[in-house]
Amino acid sequence: MKKFWESLQPRERTYVMLLGAFVVVLGLFFAGRSFARYMTDIRERSDSAERDTLQIENLGRQYQLLQAMRTGDSQQLDNMLSSIETMLKTIGLRDKVGSLTPTDTIVQEKYLKREVKVSIKESPANQVLDFIRQIEQSTQTLYKVESFNYRPVLKKPGIYDFSVQISGFQRKNDGK
């Protein structure tokens, strides 16, 4: 190899070095593209796994709700107001609650649906969204947010009045 290099003219040596540099740059380019494709594939797999996990959690929650309706887990609705108040206290919204109004409705003569309307006055959105997230993601309480309304408070940017309706079901206890 040394004889070959020494037999080359200076101009030819320059061309060989440029060709070698070009091959190295080309190799780095393809290696970078391969690495970028690999990272994109990993990111897509991670996002897909995250979506699947959320879907499984949601299905598990729906299954628990249906099980509670089938078996008549009455403790869930009996403790609904106190558990909502506890959530409001931990997030720091209890002092901003205007009202907690429960309403019971009979559904298909077998089930009792309890709805609690929570009105929250002059609160930042992030605290109320944390409250809603806590309700929706809780596996201990089988409640769901039926409706969510907000209205900005005039002359207080970033502050809103909220109305959140939370509901839960249980099998009616007819003395059986």
Residue 137 lies in a domain: yes
Domain boundary among 68, 100, 117: 68
Say if residue 77 is in the same domain as residue 150: yes
Asked whether residue 83 falls in the same domain as residue 146, the answer is yes
**Is 101 within 8 Å of 114 (Cβ atoms)?**
no
**pLDDT band, residue 19 (cuts 50/70/90):** very high
Whether residue 142 lies inside any domain: the answer is: yes
Query: 55 lies in a domain?
Result: yes
In a domain, 176, yes or no: no
DSSP per residue, 47-89: HHHHHHHHHHHHHHHHHHHHHHHHHT-THHHHTHHHHHHHHHH
The tens digit of pLDDT for each residue in 28-41 reads 999 999 999 999 99
Query: 41 lies in which domain range?
Result: 2-68
Pick from 114, 111, 115: nearest CA to 173: 111
CATH number (domain holding residue 106): 3.30.70.60
Same domain, 167 and 83: yes
The model's pLDDT over 65-114, given as tens digits with 9 standing for 90+, comes to 676 666 555 455 667 788 888 888 888 888 888 888 888 877 777 777 88
Q: How many domains does the chain have?
A: 2
What local confidence, expressed as pLDDT, does residue 175 receive? Answer: 47
Q: For residues 81 and 146, state if they share a domain.
A: yes
Say if residues 120 and 129 touch (Cβ distance below 8 Å): no
Question: Which of 37, 68, 99 is at the close of a domain?
Answer: 68
